[in-house]
Amino acid sequence: MKVIIFAVWIIGIIVANVHAKPTAVVFTKDPEAKFLNLERLPDETEGHAINASRKARGLVLMGNGARWSNGIVPYQFGSGYTTQLQADVVTRMRKIENLVAINNARCIQFRPRVSTDLYYITIQNGTGCSARLGQSTGNVTLQSPGCSDDGRTFHELLHALGKSEMKERECLFHEQSRSDRGLYVKVYPENMQTGADQQYLIYENPMADMLNSSYDYSSVMHYAKYDFSSNGKPTMEPIQSNIKIGQRYNLSNGDIQLIRRYYNCSSNGPTLPPFTIPIEPAYPSMLLSTYSSELTNQNLMYNRNGSSLPNFYYEVINVTVPAAGSYIFQCYSNIDTFGYIYNQAFYPLSPAMNLINAFDDENIERWEFSFMLTFNSPDTSLLVVTTYNPNMTGSFLIAAILLSPLPPPRRQQQRQQAALLPPLPPPRRQQQRQQAALLPPLPPPRRQQQRQQAALLPPLPPPRQQQAALLPPLPPPRQQQAALLPPLPPPR
C-alpha cells in the first residue's frame, strides 16, 4: 500500500495540469526520392570533390600535406552572386566557426582574401554543388537556387577544409567511405548512376584515419538513401532499424569533433569576434517569440511513445498563445529532436495518455520537428521535447510563429465592426423630432396668426355710434338754433 501511495505521489509531482484543446495539423513528409542531390559526379568537368580520384571523410585521408595555415581560409566571390547571396554564405561561414570553436576560441576562420594570400577559395554560382578539397586555389560551386541552403553549403565548405591529392595530402570526405562502413550501411552499386560509385569507395588504414571517431549517421557529410539513384531504388541503406541518413541542415556533434581534432583546436586560441547565429523561421515577419534550452544528463528520462527503447531525456514546456489563430512551432538544434503535444497533462509513465500528436522531422533533410497548431481562443498546451535516439543531449531553440489569426466569433466580430462604423441614424420619428428641434418654429395657425398680428396693430376705431359719442355735439336743428338766437329787431 505504501508503495502505491509513493508511486501516486511521484506521478503527482511530475504531472503538469494544463488545460488546452488545440487542433493539430501535421506537416506531411515529402517522399525521400523527391530530394535531388545536386552534388556533382566525378565524371563531369569538376567532380563533387575535385582532384580526388579517391576520397574519404569521417575519416581523414592521410599524407604529407598541411592543413590551412592556422585554420584560416581566405575566400572571394566569383560572378553570379548577389549581395544578399554573398551575405548568406558568409553567415554560414560564421555558423561553422562558432559551432567548432571551443569556449569561443577560434578553431577555423574564413576571411576575405587579400593580395598576399597564396591559397584561397572562390565561391561561385555554377552548376550543382562541388568543392576543391583542401588548401588550394580552387572553386567552391554553390548553385543558386539548389545548393544555397545551410546544409549543402556546410557540406562543401567542409570539403574545402580538407585536403586533396590523396597520397600526398589529407582530406575531409564522406562518412560512407570509412573502412568500417560495412557494419553500418549496405551499398547498392547496381542502383547508382554512372560514376556515382566513386563517392562510395572504402578507404583502409593507414591511408585513412578515422581520428578515433565512431560512425556518424547524422553527419552532414553522409549521403542519403536515394542519392544518385538511377532507377528510384535505394543506393544505400542503414543496417540498423530506425536509423536516418542524409541530413542537410546542420553540423552533427561528430562533424564538430572531427574538425576540432583535425585542426588540433583548443580553448587557448584567439577569440572569435562576437556573432549571434540568426534564427531563420519560415515566416520571419510573423515571429512571435523563441524558447531556448538544453537536454543534459540532468534531465529526467523516460520511454518515449512510439519507441521500444528506454532512456530518452526530455523537457516539458508550457506553450501559451495570446490569441486565437494558427501557429507554427519550429525547432533548431544540432541533435535530432522529437516533439509531442498533450492537451491536458503529461504522464511520463504513460506517455500515450492525453497525447494529441507526435512530430518528427520537417523533411528527410531537416531532422528537426516543425508543426502547426490551431487554437480557437487564447490557451495553453504542453510541448514535450525529446530526441529521436536515446541518450542524446544538446541544446535546442523553438521559434513560435503566428501564421494567421482566426476571426473573432460572429457576435464579437459584429460588435467590433459596429464600434468602427458610424452610429446608425435614429428611428424615423426620433429623427423627425431631432430635425424639428433644429428647424425654426412653424408659423402659428392662421387665426392665431391674425390674432397675434391684430394685437400688434393700433386699436381699431370704435364703432360709429361710439365715435359719435366722442365727437362734439351736433348743432341743434335749425328751428332749435333759431330759438337760441337773440330775437330779431322789430321791423323798421
We report the CATH number of the domain holding residue 166 as 3.40.390.10
How far is Cα 456 from Cα 99, in angstroms, rounded to an integer?
105
pLDDT for 12 equals: 45
283 and 256 fall within a common domain:
no
Beta bridge partners of 109: 72
300 and 241 fall within a common domain:
no
Query: Would you say residue 49 lies in a domain?
Result: yes
How far is Cα 3 from Cα 332, in angstroms, rounded to an integer?
41
Q: Which stretches of 15-143 are DSSP H helices?
A: 83-100
Q: Which residue's C-alpha cell is 544518385? A: 228
Query: Would you say residue 202 lies in a domain?
Result: yes
pLDDT for 7 equals: 45
Residue ending a domain, among 410, 436, 454, is 410
Query: Would you say residue 48 lies in a domain?
Result: yes
pLDDT for 109 equals: 95
Query: Would you say residue 424 lies in a domain?
Result: no
Annotated binding site for Zn(2+): 155, 159, 174
Burial of 189: CB neighbours in 10 Å, binned 0-12, 13-18, 19+ = exposed
pLDDT for 417 equals: 65
Give the total number of structural domains in the chain: 2
Contact 208, 62 (CB under 8 A): yes
- In sequence order, the 6+-apart residues with CB closer than 8 A to the CB of 482 are none
253 and 301 fall within a common domain:
no
210 and 321 fall within a common domain:
no
pLDDT for 334 equals: 79
Three-state SS at 446: helix
The amino acid present at 284, given as its one-letter code, is P
Q: Which residue's C-alpha cell is 538544453? A: 294
Q: What is the pLDDT of residues 71-126, one digit of tens each?
A: 999 999 998 888 999 999 999 999 999 999 999 999 999 999 999 999 999 999 98
147 and 220 fall within a common domain:
yes
42 and 163 fall within a common domain:
yes
pLDDT for 285 equals: 59
Determine which one of 39, 97, 156, 365 is catalytic.
156
Query: Would you say residue 491 lies in a domain?
Result: no
Contact 314, 300 (CB under 8 A): yes
Q: Which three cell numbers stand for residue 299?
A: 534531465
pLDDT for 277 equals: 65
The amino acid present at 270, given as its one-letter code, is P
pLDDT for 339 equals: 95
Q: Is 170 a catalytic residue?
A: no
182 and 116 fall within a common domain:
yes
Contact 110, 97 (CB under 8 A): yes
Annotated binding site: 155, 159, 174
pLDDT for 165 equals: 31
What's the sign of the alpha-carbon dihedral 233, 192, 213, 100? negative
**Residues spanned by the domain of 393:** 279-410
- Kindly state the DSSP code that residue 293 receives in the 8-state scheme: E
230 and 315 fall within a common domain:
no
How far is Cα 51 from Cα 41, in angstroms, rounded to an integer?
12
**How far apart, in Å, are the Cα atoms of 214 and each of 157, 181, 218, 250?**
22, 10, 11, 18
Query: Would you say residue 397 lies in a domain?
Result: yes
Residue ending a domain, among 383, 410, 437, is 410
Query: Would you say residue 473 lies in a domain?
Result: no
Query: Would you say residue 462 lies in a domain?
Result: no
253 and 299 fall within a common domain:
no
- The enclosing domain of 372 has a CATH number of 2.60.120.380
How close are the terminal C-alpha atoms of the chain, in Å? 178
304 and 237 fall within a common domain:
no
Q: Which helix (H) or strand (E) holds 383?
A: strand 379-387
pLDDT for 76 equals: 96
**Strand 72-77 to 120-124 pairing:** parallel
- The per-residue pLDDT string of the chain (492 residues; one tens digit each, 9 = 90 and over) reads 544 544 444 444 344 333 334 433 333 333 444 445 555 444 332 335 443 333 333 444 444 345 899 999 999 999 888 899 999 999 999 999 999 999 999 999 999 999 999 999 999 998 889 888 888 888 999 998 888 888 999 999 998 998 433 333 344 668 888 888 999 999 999 999 998 888 888 876 544 445 667 889 989 999 999 999 999 999 999 998 888 898 888 898 889 988 998 899 999 888 988 877 666 655 555 777 889 999 999 999 999 998 888 999 999 999 988 888 889 999 988 788 999 999 889 999 999 999 999 998 887 778 889 898 888 888 889 999 999 989 988 889 998 888 877 666 666 666 666 666 676 666 777 767 777 677 676 666 777 777 777 677 676 666 666 655 566 666 666 666 666 666 777 776
How far is Cα 65 from Cα 162, in angstroms, rounded to an integer?
10
327 and 239 fall within a common domain:
no
Residue ending a domain, among 410, 444, 473, is 410
230 and 379 fall within a common domain:
no
Contact 121, 132 (CB under 8 A): yes
How far is Cα 203 from Cα 180, in angstroms, rounded to an integer?
9
pTM as predicted:
0.62
